[in-house]
Amino acid sequence: MQQEVAADTLNPVTSDLEPLIPNEGVGWGNGGWLSPCSALEKRENWILFIGPLDRIEQAAMTTLSCESYEKKFKDVTLPPFVSGMSSIVSFVNSAVTFGDKELEESEIGKVKVDIELANREMRRAEKVARDVIDSMTAETLQLADDFDKAQRERKEQEESLWIKKDELIILESRRYQANDQLQAARSSLQHMETALNSAEARKGDKITGRDMGIGLIFLAPCVGIPMTVNYNKELNTTKKLVKTVDGEINRLRAEVKQREDAMHTCNSQIPEKSKEIERLKESLARKEREVEKLQRACGLLADTKCKLKYCYNYLCSLQGAVEVLYNSCQDLYSLDPIMPIIEETLKTIQQQNSHNELLAYDEEVQKKVKELKMIQYRMNMK
């Protein structure tokens, strides 16, 4: 007997079930992209291009994919299911007709043909239903992987955005610092240039005084010589001061140049960093939309898979009941000993509910169920 299988235990695609979209157009199936003109794998009249879709396109195709899976499930499952139900109707009708008498050879043959066909068709319905769910499981797993990847990428982009923002703050701070240092260096340079001009003026005065002293040496040696000596000493001191100030000015000019270069670097980097931040913001916004679409897509696929699983579990239960009935008919001489098994099979068939809508709401299926209820009524009247 086939056991019910939880959704999480279904295997990836292993069947030879064809993809879901015919090759007249382009569509989605088995976790890949269907195309009539590109193929790595061809199954009958279906062409499957196995390659990654853009995840946003993949999410956008999910609604169509869910509808396709439901349609495919009905298309491949209903024919054998209805055929099996027809055989069960024929079998149960024979059971009511033959009653508890010992069966003749021809009657045994008819009963066995009906139950054998019912068992074979129910097994086929269960298999193709499982194939569709396996196919959907593969797509669901792929979509879940894409969702996880998109979430990781979103987190990485968020972290990158914060890093870039921190880098921009650091650059702004460096620019303010460089600007303060530049203004301080320019102020110091201006002060030193003023000091140099003053020293140069003093130097000129000392040279003039010394020259006057030299001139007085010949006229009044007692005045000229001391005057020359004093002015010469002051001149030497002033020259040293001029040299020192001149060296400091050169250093300050180099510092000003360095601060100007630092300012230029910051001024050129900040706009580019701001552009990087804007690009990251736009990319993050796109990633947010992608994550939301993938999340909705995962939910849609999960809901559809759950709907298919209800139908599949019902099929498994019914196929198991029919198989028990089939095995009970191997050494058949009368239907009376297996009447409890027949009644149990009828109960299993009537377990259909709104969760099995893809099977239960089919017109042919409802017709067969109604026939079985009428036959069961006749059984109870006897």
**Matching CATH number, 159-288, of 1.20.1540.10, 3.50.50.60, 1.10.287.620, 1.10.10.10:** 1.10.287.620
Question: Which of 323, 342, 331, 352 lies closest to 93 in space, CA to CA?
Answer: 342
CB 17 within 8 A of CB 131: yes
First to last CA, the chain: 31
**pTM score above 0.75:** no
Long-range contacts of 256-260 (CB under 8 A, 24+ apart): 256/182, 256/185, 256/186, 256/189, 259/178, 259/181, 259/182, 259/185, 260/182
pLDDT at 253 (0 to 100)? 76
pLDDT at 52 (0 to 100)? 40
CB 224 within 8 A of CB 213: yes
* Residue 353 backbone zone (phi > 0: left; psi -120 to 50: alpha; other: beta): beta
Could you please report the per-residue DSSP string of 289-302? Answer: HHHHHHHHHHHHHH
The whole-number mean pLDDT for each consecutive block of 10 residues of the chain, a chain of 382 residues, reads 39 33 33 31 29 47 73 93 94 88 89 94 95 89 88 90 89 83 78 68 52 47 48 57 68 78 82 89 90 88 88 92 92 87 89 76 88 84 62
pLDDT at 185 (0 to 100)? 76
pLDDT at 79 (0 to 100)? 95
CB 294 within 8 A of CB 143: yes
pLDDT at 204 (0 to 100)? 52
* Residue 48 backbone zone (phi > 0: left; psi -120 to 50: alpha; other: beta): beta
Give the integer Cα–Cα distance in Å for 138 and 141. 5
**Stated length of the chain:** 382
Long-range contacts of 344-351 (CB under 8 A, 24+ apart): 345/88, 345/318, 345/321, 346/92, 346/372, 346/376, 348/317, 348/318, 348/321, 349/85, 349/88, 349/318, 351/314, 351/317
pLDDT at 197 (0 to 100)? 66
What are the start-end ranges of the H helices in the chain? 55-60, 62-98, 105-219, 221-328, 339-349, 357-360, 363-381
Could you please report the per-residue DSSP string of 32-55? Answer: EEE-SS--SEEETTEEEE--PPPH
CB 11 within 8 A of CB 137: yes
Question: Which of 343, 316, 323 lies closest to 92 in space, CA to CA?
Answer: 343
Q: Would you state the structure tokens that stand for residue 351, as one six-digit string?
A: 């377990």
Residue 4 C-beta-side C-alpha neighbours within 13 Å? 13
pLDDT at 36 (0 to 100)? 29
Domain boundaries, the chain: 7-17+58-157+291-381, 159-288
Q: Give, as one character, the DSSP assignment of residue 25.
A: S
Helix, strand, or coil here: 31? coil
CB 320 within 8 A of CB 2: yes
